[in-house]
Amino acid sequence: MTLRHSYDGEVSRPNYSCAGSLVGWSTRLITGRSQVQVLPRALLHLVDGVFRGIVTRKEHEGSAFRLHQGNRMVVLSGSNSRLLAEQLAASLGWEHHQLETRRFPDSEGYIRIPSETIEAVRKEPVVLVSNTFPDAGIVETLLMLEAINDVRKGNMENLREIGPQNMDDVGPGILLAVPYFGYSRQDKRFKPGEAISARAIGHLLASRCDGIIVFDLHAPSVLEDLSVPVAFTSAMPELALHLQETVQPDFILSPDKGAIERASTVAKKINCEFSYLEKTRIDAHTIVHKAKDLDVDGKTVAIVDDMIATGGTICRAAEALRNQGAIAVHAACSHGLFTGGAIARLIRYVDGVHATGSLSNPRDVISGGPALARGVNDLFERLEWSQ
């Protein structure tokens, strides 16, 4: 299967023939501390099953999925993506419901679909917005998908016998939107014996939903063989408009070859000059750029990347721009990880830092809602679900 990637507001359309919901899971009730003790074993079983191909998925029962007249569909979120979920719901005109999430004293997580949300989860397709970062986000996302699958399948048995114990299976209808896909940079086996982490996480998530929306994924090709359709969407159109309104750059720079497609999309959208640097990463904190003449004398430049972590890439690129006469330098990205004092480091080199809220960060000024909404609409079309 060939994937096409685009950052101009379009999403790629791989040709998938079917997708479905997971069946045959072993489910355990999470009604108290003692029950939670079984989760690690249950999770390991499921993980093992996915990698051995034991876990089966049922195919669509007919391709058409019709929205019931007058119902509003639902965006759900857990502990890490509430803002993006609200932005997505606003972009789509859907309801947003928050799931219950908390931590036990030993740090294990607990999730529950509140009683008042159960009907909403069953009546129409749902989109769960959840990050797989940091690691706790992976477990929380899997647990939320597990609970949503159970509720939609009508598996409601609980030890306290609250409410109906079994209901009809309402069929497929679970999309997962991942604003920041953790492990996205381990997308290749750089040395023998390494895990291709991004692919491993992708397979796990795909085993529990009918489609995945990923927002500005570092290298989309790593998720090309998942068992469900994936919509690769991007905030670059919104990032471009934000830069135009606030910074009015003359020149857009990609700090490395990997960001050329994204940054050039921004440059085209707001009609700016564009160039890129060639970067070599010596280690996590040491970046070297190949010398290059850039026509930036007297110009305002915006450096555009998918993510900023330590800030090293941006600081080195900003230095090169200043040395060649740039009068103002801004940094813009989708994912503001800002690790290890990155903001303090960045403000010594750039005049402004701009990010989306895919991760909670102090430079969140660009809404990710429209990009996620494009991904949701794309999957509805590909899965032939009507809205």
User: What minimum distance in Å lies between the beta carbon of 237 and ligand R5P?
Assistant: 19
Please measure the distance between the N-terminal and C-terminal CA atoms of the chain and give it in whole angstroms.
27
Binding pattern for the stretch 246-285 against ligand R5P, x by CB under 6 A and - elsewhere: ---------xx-xx--------------------------
Closest to ligand R5P by CB, 205 vs 308, is 308
Amino acid letter, residue 245: E
> Is residue 205 a contact partner of residue 145, using CB atoms and an 8 Å limit?
yes
Q: Determine the distance from the C-alpha atom of residue 52 to the mean position of all C-alpha atoms in its chain, rounded to a whole number.
A: 26
Task: Please say if 299 is a catalytic residue.
Answer: no
Instruction: With contacts defined by CB under 6 A, name the span among 222-230, 240-248, 301-309, 322-330 that binds ligand R5P.
Output: 301-309
187 binds ligand R5P (CB under 6 A): no
CA distance 70 to 2: 38
The answer to whether residue 350 forms part of the interface with ligand R5P (CB under 6 A) is no
For 59-82, the DSSP string reads PPSSS-B-PPTTPPPEEEE-SS-H
Q: How far is the CB of 229 from ligand R5P (least distance, A)?
A: 25
Q: How near is the Cβ of 271 to ligand R5P at its closest, in Å?
A: 24
Please tell me the number of Cα atoms within 13 Å of 217 on its side-chain side: 31
Q: Could you say which of 123, 153, 257, 279 is catalytic?
A: 279
Give CA angle at 60 (55, 66), nearest 5°.
140
Q: In one letter, which amino acid is 110?
A: Y
How many CA atoms are closer than 13 Å to the CA of 140, on its beta-carbon side?
A: 29
Nearest to ligand R5P of 308, 372 (CB atom): 308
Least Å from the CB of residue 362 to ligand R5P: 16
Quick check: helix, strand or coil at residue 383? coil
To 5 degrees, how large is the angle CA 145–CA 150–CA 151? 100
Q: How many residues does the chain have?
A: 387
**Nearest approach, Cβ of 319 to ligand R5P (angstroms)?**
13
336 forms part of the interface with ligand R5P (CB under 6 A): no
> Binding string to ligand R5P for residues 312 to 331, with x set by CB under 6 A, is what?
xx------------------
- Candidates 50, 204, 309, 379; binder of ligand R5P (CB under 6 A) is 309
Residue 226 CB partners (closer than 8 Å, separation 6+)? 202, 203, 206, 212
Kindly tell me which of 146 and 306 has the beta carbon lying closer to ligand R5P. Answer: 306
Query: Applying CB under 6 A, does 307 fall inside the site for ligand R5P?
Result: yes
CB 203 within 8 A of CB 226: yes
Whether the Cβ atoms of residue 30 and residue 99 lie closer than 8 Å to each other: no
- By CB under 6 A, is residue 171 in contact with ligand R5P? no
Interaction between residue 310 and ligand R5P (CB under 6 A): yes
Q: Which residues contact 116 (CB under 8 A, 6 or more apart)?
A: none
Q: Which is nearer to ligand R5P, 91 or 310 (CB)?
A: 310
The residue within the footprint of ligand R5P, chosen from 247, 277, 308, 359 (CB under 6 A), is 308
Residue with smaller CB distance to ligand R5P, 211 or 312: 312
The stretch among 36-44, 101-109, 300-308, 359-367 that binds ligand R5P (CB under 6 A) is 300-308
If the CB atoms of residues 148 and 303 are measured against ligand R5P, the closer one turns out to be 303
Stated as kind and residue range, the H or E segment containing 299 is: none
306 lies in the site for ligand R5P, by CB under 6 A? yes
Taking the complex as a whole, the smallest distance from the CB of residue 311 to ligand R5P amounts, in Å, to: 5
Name which of 86 and 306 has its Cβ closer to ligand R5P: 306
Residue from 220, 305, 329, 330 binding ligand R5P (CB under 6 A): 305
Output the six-digit token pair for 13: 């359309």
- Using CA atoms, how far residue 49 sits from 43, 79, 109, 121, in Å, is 10, 27, 22, 26
Q: In a 3-state reduction of DSSP, which class is residue 370? A: helix
Q: E-assigned strands of 216-278?
A: 230-233, 251-254, 273-276
Residues marked as catalytic: 279
Which residues of this protein are in contact with ligand R5P, per CB under 6 A?
255-256, 258-259, 287, 305-313
